Structure 1
């Protein structure tokens, strides 16, 4: 497996938290679940001109075909360059199409200058980049494919995003109220609620929620829940000695029962099941 991460320089760094390249031999399992991070991602499949995801095969209506592969009727397909919107639900992918993938993860609210009001519509959805950027999407993928090394491919994507950011007709920057809210939600010493933020901003809750959702892709309340869930995932990934009651308290849950309920809502698994089945951060096996 090869995983390369690149942090872009300013001014792009304000909007793109990281560019990444992932390549791996074919894995023995077929399906895996990707847990919600709350971030918008641009994905480019290097290995094939297609991106696929599936309805949850563990749901009552999900029926797997022979060999563990999902029923074709449950499969959704897009061209090989697409945007995965900020989502608060887990999604299911197959590892066959993940042999070589390039991506850009946007900062909270950072996708707005690239996709404008489409960011809200992307919430929880996968959309072909061609539907938003037109022919330019294919040109970006072509430039990436022409590059010969992972590092060169990352530079090609960085260049395309930087050019898009600086073009004269780019969407406007984030609303300062959204920037203020994101900073407040990220500061553990403040423990701000949505009501706290709207009160400090001196604006109506309706107006704030509308602006935040349009530019981040999730409502403020749902964004904060996903962010708290990801704090738990980070604690697990650090390999700390885990007391679930301690994790619940450290991450701001009312009690352990609330923590377990929220974790299951986002992951479809208990925290203990996640630890046992995780393959890498936010990815868990769905094979037996």
Structure 2
């Protein structure tokens, strides 16, 4: 497998978290689950094999994805095709609140959905995919994607109120933080919530819950001996019942079950 992680520089760096390219990927499992993290991703499949989304419980096929698609903000895990044999993709991860500046429509419309990217970008995405496949060097493939993103990008920054709220909530994902942030933006509560939803696809409270959940996932990944009671308190949950219920709502598993099924990568569960 060849794997390349690229982080853009310059103006584009304000909007793009990363651009990942890989090829010759043949996992030993067929199906995997990804946990919600609050991001949106543009996925460009460079093979001719369609990929599938499955029901989280029955594992029956729910949706077929071909060529390129946009994965919106998720509030629960998603069960997807692991890639098959010799998988190759380019994945653009937008920073929190940035996808709107490329799609130019409210991200709420793709919350918990995967949308064919030609419905958003038209034929330009097909041309981009062809140009990526034609480029021989990985650096040229990435340059091609960056040029496309620069052409799509609205010539304005993410609203400062959104950026401020995202960073504040990520650093301290508590309900008190949301109330404090809303009071600091200068907007009415209703206007602030609508602005946040427009750029992130979910409410500030919904984002706070996901970031609190992500804090738990990071702690589980980095801790050998877990004190569940202390962990739940440290991450801002009222009690054990609150912690377990919210964890299951996002992951589909209890915290202890998650320990037995999680994969080597964070937010990743190999299924079969």
TM-score norm. by structure 1 comes to: 0.85
* Map of 2:268 onto structure 1: 283
Say which is worse superposed, 7-16 or 88-97, in terms of deviation.
88-97
SS of the equivalent of 1:11 reads helix
Structure 1 gaps, min length 5: 63-69
Q: Distance in 2 between matches of 1:138 and 1:2?
A: 23
Cα distance change of structure 1 residues 186 and 78 upon mapping to structure 2, 3 Å threshold = same
Equivalences for 1:18-167 in 2 at 5 Å?
Answer: 18-23=18-23, 25-48=25-48, 50-56=50-56, 58=57, 62=58, 70-71=59-60, 74-97=61-84, 99-165=87-153
**Residue 178 of structure 1, aligned match among 151, 159, 162:** 162
Alpha-carbon deviations, 1:32-82, whole Å to 9, x = none? 1111111010101122263421222x2xxx2xxxxxxx54xx330133111
Tell me the equivalent position of 1:11.
11
More displaced stretch, 184-193 vs 7-16: 184-193
Quick one: distance in 2 between partners of 1:15 and 1:180? 14
Q: For 1:105, what is the secondary structure of its paired residue?
A: strand
Aligned residue pairs: how many? 270
| Closer, same or farther: CA 222–257 of 1 in aligned 2, 3 Å | same
Q: 1:85 and 1:138, CA in 2 relative to 1: closer, same or farther beyond 3 A?
A: same
Distance 2:62 2:172 in 1: 40
- Give, in angstroms, the shift of residue 124 of structure 1: 1.2
Taking only aligned residues, the RMSD between alpha carbons, in angstroms, comes to 2.3
How far, CA to CA, are the matches of 1:181 and 1:32 in structure 2?
Answer: 32
List 4+ stretches of structure 1 deviating above 4 A. Answer: 189-192
Match in the other structure for 2:257: 273
The Cα shift of 1:7 comes to: 0.9
Distance across 1 between alignment mates of 2:183 and 2:253? 36
Q: 2:241 aligns with which of 243, 257, 261?
A: 257
| Contact 1:116 1:215 (C-alpha < 8 Å) held by counterparts | no
Q: What SS does structure 2 have at the residue aligned with 1:37? A: coil
Aligned runs of 1:207-286 on 2, under 5 Å?
207-279=191-263, 280-286=265-271
Contact map agreement 2:33 2:79 (CA 8 A) in 1: yes
Contact 2:35–2:76 under 8 Å retained in 1: yes
Q: Is the 8 A contact 1:45 1:81 kept in 2?
A: yes
Distance in 1 (alpha carbons) for counterparts of 2:24 and 2:259: 22
